[in-house]
Structure 1
Amino acid sequence: MWAEGRYLIIWLCFQVNFSPVFSDVWMADVVPKMNALVSSCVVVPCSFKNPGEKQPHSRIRGIWHKIKDRETNIIYHEDSTNILENFKGRTKLLGNLGSPEHNCTLEIDEVRDHDNGPFCFRIEIPNVDMYSFVQNCVSFTMMPKPEDPKIVKTDIFEEGTAASLRCFVTHTCPSHPPTITWSHFNSEATQSTRYLDNGIWEVESLLTFTPTEEDDHTEITCSINFHGNKKSEATARLSVKSMSGSDTVVLWVCLYSAHSQATWKSHHSPSVTKHFLLTVLSSFTNGHWMLSMLMEKSPLKMVLKAALPSRKD
């Protein structure tokens, strides 16, 4: 009897140490919580490890399922007839299960507001073993609207000096990354994407341009188009420092009478008229009031207002 017991113990130890697949030691690395933009897609990074004998890709079957009723609540299966009706055609396994990384990454497309999970990965090797990683599932926070992009710029640009603007936004749909467009100078922009962490990606557009005086106090908008027809945008105001010199110049002269409308005659290039203006009342001669409009640049604005107050007839 003792000998039989000893042989049983030896046999069990042999099975633990040499079985090619043993479910108790399988491990999965799945991001536990992610944001998912409704109508877009979400890609869940996933990998698993098995210290046993390596299996070819053709022998490994990957399945994603809801945490409850795992045999019937399947959201991804290589045989689409096993997939829940409202997930058919919307899920895809992006990874290679037989690769050294054992990549089990999942894509869910056309995200719906009820796709919040939790969802878990399961491995099946027919006639060998199967294992569900129910301790490593993913849940989603549903986002009805995308997040707004951010624009990074310097406070003041110099006229005629090369400058740049950076617009970026994060997302969780790398298989269909967002596209970025600018309201001005769009042909000068370059777009790039990079992986941050935990299934979060960043897409950025770098816009390079040479500002002119006409760009001062204008607005520029960065627009993001997400997969699934979702959009967001951000706007920034440009401040351009003029390199032309003078801080105050007389721009216009006006002859005005009580019986006629004002007629303005330019004494300077019209391109600078978008700066702040002050009206200064001059002398009354031959039935006409002589008025001048002066351009003031922001550093002298308060000084000019105090020194040259407006006055009505």
Structure 2
Amino acid sequence: MNVVLFMNFLFITNELVLVSSELVYAELPSRIKALSGSCVQIPCRFNGTVINLMNTDTVFGFWMKKYQSFLNPGSLVVFNGSSNIITGFSHIEILGNLSQHECTTVFYDVMKNHSDNYYFRVETNTGQKYTYQNPIYISVSDSPQPLILKPTDLKEVMEETTVNLNCSAQAPCPKQPPTISWSNIPESAHITTQLQEKPDKTVFSHMTFKASYMDHRRNISCTATYPRKTSNDSTVETTVMLRVLFPPKETHITIDSSASVSVGTNVTLTCKSKASPSNNMNYTWYKRGKD
């Protein structure tokens, strides 16, 4: 095999592997995390002044596993856009418009054995063939990424003030986003949920409510459920305790005996009240309006 190095390009027979260059590159994250049984969306864009797609009617995208060399026997072509052949995956879909240098791709039903380096390749009907050197490593895990709940610690919230809670879950595949649910929430809670593409693909849920003294020490939970092509969906949960500051509430007196008492006998009265904080409450007893 003849190998010639010329102007930052490596020629191997009739194949051109694009080596690191300022003008020729593929915009890919170096690493992306995926959930087994789900799908993963790879943001991708290729560029370069040597790629002429203006007069090309047909552009084909390829994805290769392990090695960037198209001719390497160890390199597995998992997606062949020219013949629409998919190897090792149930389905792969290029969402981007290749004629505009967009190659965003969705890999469906990824499993742990799919964890590896993947290289993008483009071919045109005019005979141009380019494989980009910089790969993306797909890391597949059986567990989803932890949720982010903000604020993480509601130390002191005044009664009757508005409380805002934000829960976000990573969505490695917007085609199959997780669903977010809340539990043990106040009756006045209002919830809005949406998928955000930027800066990262996340499902974002916002809850707002007015704090009540009855919500003190309430544990509020946020749960994300990821649909998977397995026997069970995958869930991840996080919880925050609500701490409400409020003056004495529900103050009442009890007597140790409900029956009539005789003159000269002892009577025990108990005063109880709810407040936060409660460690510095002072009780004052009155008889006929006097201390």
CA shift for structure 1 position 238:
1.2
Deviates more, 1:289-298 or 1:45-54: 289-298
Structure 2: gaps spanning 5 or more residues? 1-15, 283-291
What is the aligned partner in structure 2 of residue 94 from structure 1?
95
Query: 2:277 is matched with which residue: 299, 304, 307?
Result: 299
- 1:50 matches 2:48: yes
Which residues of structure 1 form unaligned runs of 5+?
1-21, 258-282, 305-313
Runs of 4+ residues deviating >6 angstroms: 283-289
**Is 1:256–1:289's contact at 8 Å kept on the other side of the alignment?**
no
| Partner AA of 2:190 in structure 1 | E
Deviation at 1:186, TM superposition (A): 9.1
Secondary structure (helix, strand or coil) at the match of 1:173 reads coil
Aligned partner of 2:27: which letter? D
The answer on whether the counterparts of 1:120 and 1:138 sit within 8 Å (CA) in structure 2 is yes
SS at match of 1:174: coil
Give matches, 1:180-191, under 5 Å. 180-183=180-183, 184=185, 188-191=190-193
Partner of 1:119: 118
Structure having the larger proportion of residues in strand: 2
CA distance 1:202–1:81, change in 2 (3 Å): closer
Change (3 A) 1:293 1:136: same
Partners in 1 of 2:122 and 2:196 — Cα distance?
30
Cα gap change, 1:253/1:111 in structure 2, threshold over 3 Å: closer, same or farther?
farther
Partner of 2:107: 108
What's the counterpart of residue 4 of structure 1?
A: none
Q: Find the structure with the greater CA-based Rg.
A: 1
Distance (Å, rounded) in 2 between the aligned partners of 1:170 and 1:81: 30
CA shift digits 1:94-140 (9 cap, x unpaired): 111012xx11111112220011121111111134221111x211112
Contact 2:31-2:139 at 8 Å conserved across structures: yes
Cα distance change on mapping 1:93 and 1:81 into 2, 3 Å: closer
Shift of residue 211, structure 1, vs aligned partner: 2.1
Distance 2:155 2:197 in 1: 29
TM-score, scaled to structure 2: 0.72
Alignment partner of 2:257 out of 247, 255, 258 = 255
Give the match for residue 173 of structure 2.
173
Say yes or no: does 1:230 pair with 2:234.
yes
Name the residue aligned to 2:287.
none
SS in 2 for 1:234: strand
Which residue number in structure 2 is paired with residue 6 of structure 1?
Answer: none
1:77 aligns with 2:80: yes
Superposed CA RMSD: 3.4
Structure 1 vs Structure 2: percent identity of aligned residues?
23
Report the Cα offset of residue 220 of structure 1: 1.0
- Kept in 2: contact 1:255–1:291 (CA 8 A): no
Amino acid at match of 1:252: T
Q: Which moved more, 1:214-223 or 1:247-256?
A: 247-256
Q: How does 1:144-163 map to 2 (within 5 A)?
A: 144-153=142-151, 154-163=154-163
Partner letter of residue 77 of structure 1?
Answer: N
**In the comparison of the two structures, how many residue pairs are matched?**
250
Name the CA distance, whole Å, in 2 between partners of 1:211 and 1:43: 40
SS at match of 1:95: coil
* AA matched with 1:235: T
Residues 251 and 272 in structure 2, CA contact (< 8 A), matched pair in contact too? yes
Pairing 1:187-226 to 2, within 5 Å after superposition: 188-196=190-198, 200-226=200-226
Gap change, CA 1:165 and 1:55, over 3 Å in 2: same
Relative distance call for 1:295 and 1:130 in structure 2 (3 A) is same
Partner of 2:58: 59
Structure 1 Cα separation of the partners of residues 108 and 116 of structure 2: 14
Does the 8 A contact of 2:118 with 2:138 survive in 1?
no
Is the 1:92–1:107 Cα contact (8 Å) retained in structure 2? yes
- Secondary structure of the residue aligned to 2:201 is strand
